Amino acid sequence: MRGERTAVAVVVVAAAAVAAFVVLDRYEGSARFADLPGDADVRLVGRFTPRQVDRIAALPQAAAVECGTTLYGVTAVTSRGVLSGATVLTAAARPGLRWSQVRSGTYPATDAQLLIDERTAAAHDVRPGERVTLLLGPAVVNATVVGIAARPSDHAIGTRDAVFLLPSGAVAALSGGASCDSVTVELRRRRDASTFSRAAEDLLDPPPAVIYDESLKGHV
């Protein structure tokens, strides 16, 4: 009898452990850490409609939200030549959630303006005032370089490709209106990072991948 009770207890404990693992895997199993820009605490990665972004922004833990898109394989035509395989990022409107800081010039204020990363600008002698034509499939966007930006450190950015940052309207035109692929979030209280990510995952199907800022290691 005692042996049967012990066996039952072992089964119960094992089942509880499995259940706990499933919960952990659902909410934190895909979590990673990265050096997120500025005041960003969490980045959700997936595909997000405008309505979903609005719902994420309405969560009580969120202080600020930026929807962003990364486009690869863009061709950039300048007066200095053609740059193939460029990467285009959304230029976030909120200063605290921007991918990089402006080294010279100004931040884009309209969809007809863009930033270029400092390494590419130096290598190809591209300066503010230069006109750039960006092509991706049938889409064409013309814009003027208004600033030189620090090269983003995000691991998703190629080590050699040119990087351009454009406002969301221009990125949407270049991508054919595709939904954004990341949502970057500044939290009201950083200790609520896990609570926020669980709430966001419950809103979305399928759940997004979650990336926390490196400073949150050991706290989520």
**Inside any domain, residue 113:** yes
Domain range for residue 5? 1-30
Name 135's bridge partners: 75, 140
Question: pLDDT confidence of 43, banded at 50, 70, 90?
Answer: very high
Cα torsion angle, 188, 191, 197, 202, sign: negative
Kindly state whether residues 97 and 148 are assigned to the same domain: yes
pLDDT of residue 21 exceeding 60: no
Q: Specify the pLDDT at position 20.
A: 31
What's the pLDDT score for residue 145? 98
Please report the sign of the dihedral spanned by the C-alpha atoms of residue 92, residue 95, residue 99, residue 100.
positive
pLDDT per residue as tens digits for the range 83-105 = 999 999 999 999 999 988 999 99
E strands, the chain, are 32-34, 42-48, 62-68, 70-78, 81-90, 102-105, 113-117, 131-136, 139-149, 163-166, 180-187, 209-213
Do 79 and 134 have their domain in common? yes
**Number of domains comprising the chain:** 2
Do residue 81 and residue 133 come from a single domain?
yes
**pLDDT-derived band at 22, boundaries 50, 70, 90:** very low
Structure tokens at 156: 């998703």
In a domain, 182, yes or no: no
In a domain, 94, yes or no: yes
Domain membership of residue 38 (yes or no) is no
The answer on 166 and 98 residing in a single domain is yes
The pLDDT > 70 percentage for the chain reads 83
Residues 4 and 74 placed together within one structural domain of the fold: no
Domain boundary among 135, 160, 175: 175
Asked whether residue 133 is domain-assigned, the answer is yes
Local structure of 72: helix, strand or coil:
strand
Q: How far apart are CA 202 and CA 164, in angstroms?
A: 34
Inside any domain, residue 190: no
pLDDT for 155: 56
Are 78 and 152 in the same domain? yes
Classify burial at 179, counting beta carbons within 10 Å of its beta carbon; exposed 0-12, middle 13-18, buried 19 or more.
middle
The reported pLDDT for the residue numbered 99 is 84
pTM of full prediction above 0.75:
yes
Q: 74 pLDDT band (50/70/90 cuts)?
A: very high
Are residues 165 and 78 located together in one domain of the fold? yes
Any idea what the CATH number is for the domain that residue 86 is in? 2.40.40
pLDDT at 153: 73
Instruction: With a cut of 80, say whether residue 76 has pLDDT above it.
Output: yes
State both tokens at 203. 């809103």
| C-alpha span between 109 and 179 (Å, rounded) | 22
Does 109 map to a domain?
yes
The Cα 29–Cα 41 span in angstroms is 18
- pLDDT of 191-207, one tens digit each? 999 999 999 999 999 99
85 and 171 housed in the same domain: yes
The CA dihedral of 51, 56, 69, 188, to the nearest 10 degrees, is 150
Give a yes or no: residue 89 inside a domain: yes
